[in-house]
Amino acid sequence: MDIKPRTTRKIKIGSLTIGGDSPVAVQSMAATRTQDIETTARQIEILMRDGADVIRIAVDSEADVEALATLRKRFPDCVMSVDLQENYRIAPLVAPLVNKIRYNPGHLYHLEKEKSTREKVEFIVDAAKKNNCAIRIGVNCGSVDPDYKARYSDSIEAMVRSAVDHCEMLDEMGFENYCVSLKDSDSQKVIEANRRFAALRPDVPLHLGVTEAGLPPEGIIKTRIAFEQLISQGIGDTIRVSLTLPNEEKGQEIRVGREILKDIQEGRFRSVPENFLEGLNIIACPSCSRVENEKFVDLAQDVRRMTEYAEKYKLTIAVMGCRVNGPGETDDADLGLWCGPTRVNLKEGPKTLGSFGYDEILDRLKMEIDRLILERYGAAQSADDE
């Protein structure tokens, strides 16, 4: 396969340049609660040790900003990005501490409903300009701006149009130091969204990622499928591999990212295992500061083990770590789990089935899987049948 050159404009994220012919940067995110300074510092150390070019921290409150200030003092050379969650108002407080601000166009409507999206974007851009920060317009399949969702029945088009319109806003505000991401948990949708966006805005650097790719090895394969198709076509300037891993193993995201890039560069395209995702597909989020119960990663691993018996059935099970994005991002799954502090919520598509203790959920999930298999395939299936 011919590798096409990348031709976006260059942008600066602190000491790092991405875009154009700069090497594709590899980044990751601290999965810990930002206010737990020691565990977050440990995450940063792990990611830096494995060579992360950019490390992202989630910030949603002034207490998080204080924690961020402490972390910044400890890691003055780290190229830091911050994830503004719903609380865009804290942009001026975080901008002096970091090199890049990510905002999600789909989260801006939550606060100050009387203000227009443009006013809110202007507020963030102003903070970035004053502090020499880059911006990422980060569009995500599970939280697309409701206006765009209503306007476009095609979910990919809704994501692309939202990103393109935000780029136009930033252009009109005279701000060029930005990149865009369009993430989905389905590799094919990531490929399509990024291709469509790159055709409309070939100048804008792209941050690639398959969100909620899940546990290795499937999560790595899903990511590889998207990155191979895009980067070989000259699309993608920085990458994040999102894997569901214990905190101490988060460095694997960076190592896997580098391995995929090296393979693409050297023309080694790994073939996808036969029948990949034709049966059971487990989607799991990579966890972040919003996880309220550390049992989340263990639960995701247990779900994978417990569901092995149902591998041949085409079912999607989503396991999400928090109540903020969990409810929305499980809507499209056949069965979805999202974790609260003491209970796990179980859904079938958008319908809630109930909430269960961490020690009860696996049995209940199995009951629901067996029911779906019986309804759809007319066969009772259990672990003992195999």
What are the residues binding ligand SF4 (CB under 6 A)?
A: 285-288, 290-291, 320-322, 324-326, 329
Residue type at 247 in one-letter notation: N
- CB nearer ligand SF4, residue 99 or residue 287: 287
- CB nearer ligand SF4, residue 103 or residue 309: 103
Beta-carbon neighbour count of residue 154 at 10 Å?
10
Q: In whole angstroms, how close is the CB of 294 to ligand SF4 at the nearest point?
A: 11
Ramachandran region, residue 112 (left: φ > 0; alpha: ψ -120 to 50; beta: rest):
left
| Residue closest to 177 by CA, chosen among 143, 139, 145, 131 | 131
- CB nearer ligand SF4, residue 260 or residue 300: 300
- CB nearer ligand SF4, residue 214 or residue 286: 286
CA distances from 224 to 5, 187, 259, 343, 379 (A): 19, 9, 10, 33, 34
Q: In whole angstroms, how close is the CB of 58 to ligand SF4 at the nearest point?
A: 7
Q: In whole angstroms, how close is the CB of 290 to ligand SF4 at the nearest point?
A: 4
Residue 255, SS3 per DSSP: helix
Residue 1's Cβ-count burial label (10 Å; 0-12, 13-18, 19+) is exposed
Here the tokens at position 27 are 């980044």
Contact by Cβ (8 Å): 135, 175: yes
Strands (DSSP E) contained in the chain are 11-13, 16-18, 25-29, 54-59, 80-84, 100-103, 134-140, 178-183, 206-208, 238-240, 281-284, 316-320, 335-339, 343-348, 351-357
- CB nearer ligand SF4, residue 64 or residue 329: 329
Q: What angle do CA 291, 159, 241 make, to 5 degrees?
A: 45
Q: In whole angstroms, how close is the CB of 289 to ligand SF4 at the nearest point?
A: 7
- CB nearer ligand SF4, residue 8 or residue 287: 287
Cβ-count burial 129-138 (b if 16+ within 10 Å, e if not): eebebbbbbb
Query: What separation, in Å, do the N-terminal and C-terminal C-alpha atoms of the chain show?
Result: 41
Strands (DSSP E) contained in 199-254 are 206-208, 238-240
Here the tokens at position 46 are 């792990």
Give the 3-state secondary structure percentages of the chain, helix then strand then coil, rounded to 5.
45, 20, 35
Q: Cis (ω within 30 of 0) for the bond into 217? A: yes
Strand-strand pairing, 343-348 and 335-339: antiparallel
Contacts of residue 38, defined as CB under 8 A and 6 or more positions apart, other chains included, come to none
